[in-house]
Each structure stands twice: as structure tokens, then as C-alpha cells.
Structure 1
Amino acid sequence: MKLGAFSVSLTVKDIHVSKSFYEDLGFQVFGGDITQNWLIMKNESCVIGLFQGMFENNILTFNPGWNQNAENLESFTDIREMQKQLKDKGIQLLSEADVTTNGPASFTIKDPDGNLILVDQHV
């Protein structure tokens, strides 16, 4: 199973304060829209998302079909196949990708400690 690019999506209280803090750590804005209260920031191969007012807890995020530069990969495991493999292993999905579609889709699961994991395919 190829999970693709990895990032941590952080829920923040003040996106401007958080942006400045992570810039001090060497991160640079890579994507997003601060006027919509979300940014994607990068420091070498480390990627974080800053999200103000969009969700309650931090989320581990995987993007099948992308590398760490958000570039499309030639070969990757489609999200619907991942979903099937996880279900076959008895992992409960909190939300599911529509198996009758192709392309972009997502699903969510929780790890044994309650950490939310979003698998979000953009291609």
C-alpha cells in the first residue's frame, strides 16, 4: 500500500501567529490561502497544514498519488483499493470513498489511540 505524501494538519487558534512561528522554524508557505484560514507550509521534505476553525483536533494526512512536492506520481495505490484492503483487515472506516467513482476521493480512520487519519487523494 503506497500512502503517498505525508503531512500533519494542525488546528490553530490564530493562523497569522502560527504562520510566523513556523516561518521562524524555517518553514515557507507552499500553498493555501491565509484569507480562508488555511496554509500549507514546507521545510525541506516536512509538510504541515495550518487550519484555523476548520476541525477540532490535529490530523495525520496522507495524499496517495502525490509526492512531498504535491506532484503527481506515475504509479500509486488508488484510494478505493486502500479502503478495500483496510476493510479486509477489519479496520473500521469513519468515512468512505465512493467506490463507484474514479479520481479524487477521501476516507478517514482512527488509530488505536484515537488519532484521526485522513487519506485524501487529489488525482
Structure 2
Amino acid sequence: MNLGAFSVSLNVKDIQASKHFYEKLGFQSFGGDISQNWLIMKNGSTVIGLFQGMFEKNILTFNPGWDENAENLEVFTDIRTLQKQLKENGVNFLSEADESSEGPTSFTIEDPDGNPILVDQHR
């Protein structure tokens, strides 16, 4: 099962302080809008998202259809197919994608320790 590009979305208290800290670790701004309290940063192929005031916990994020540079992949498994496979495997969902839709959508699941996992397809 290929879930797409992986990143960690961090719930931060002060986005400016977090940005400066991760820059010291070699991360550079890659996307987002710091004036809207979110920023995507990259170090090599490692991607993190900084989000201030948008959610309660850190989130593991997968993006079907994208590589680690947020570039479209020619071939990928649609999120609705992934959702169906996970349901067949007995995975419980916190939120679901509308299986009758097409294009961008998302779903959220949780691992056994309560860590949220967002699968977010942008195309």
C-alpha cells in the first residue's frame, strides 16, 4: 500500500520560534504561509509542517499523488481506494472521504496509541 509522500505536522505554540529552531537544524521554508500560522519546511527529503493553533496533537501526514517535493506523481493509488482497503483490514476512521466523490479529499485514522494519521489527497 503506497500512501504517498510522508511528513509530520507539528502543533506548535509559536510558529516564529519553531521556524527559527528548525532552520538551525538545516530546514528551509518550502511552502505555506507564516502569516496564516502554517509553514512547510524541508531538509533533504524530510518534510515537516508547522501549524500554530490549527489542531491539538502532532499528526503523521501522507499525501497520495505527491512526491516529497509536492510534485504530482503520474501513477498513484486514489485515496478512496486506500480507504476501502483500510476498512477491509478493520481500520477505524475518525473522518472519512466521500467515496462517491473525485479529486481532493482526506480521511483521518488513529494508531493504537492515539496518534492521528491524516491521509490528504490534493488532486
TM-score (norm 2): 0.99
Aligned to 1:117: 117
- SS of match in other structure, 1:108: strand
Aligned to 1:56: 56
Aligned to 2:71: 71
Shift of 1:93: 0.7
- SS of match in other structure, 1:94: strand
Confirm whether residue 8 of structure 1 aligns to residue 8 of structure 2: yes
Aligned to 2:106: 106
Confirm whether residue 30 of structure 1 aligns to residue 26 of structure 2: no
Any stretches of 5+ residues in structure 1 without a counterpart?
none
- SS of match in other structure, 1:54: coil
User: CA-to-partner distance for each residue in 1:79-123, whole Å, 9 max, x for gaps?
Assistant: 000000000111111100011111101000000111000000001
CA RMSD in angstroms, aligned pairs only: 0.5
- SS of match in other structure, 1:67: coil
Any stretches of 5+ residues in structure 2 without a counterpart?
none
Aligned length: 123
TM-score (norm 1): 0.99
> How many Å separate the matches in 2 of 1:38 and 1:16?
10
Structure 1 runs of 4+ aligned residues shifted over 3 Å read none
Q: Percent identity?
A: 76
Shift of 1:2: 1.1
Aligned to 1:83: 83
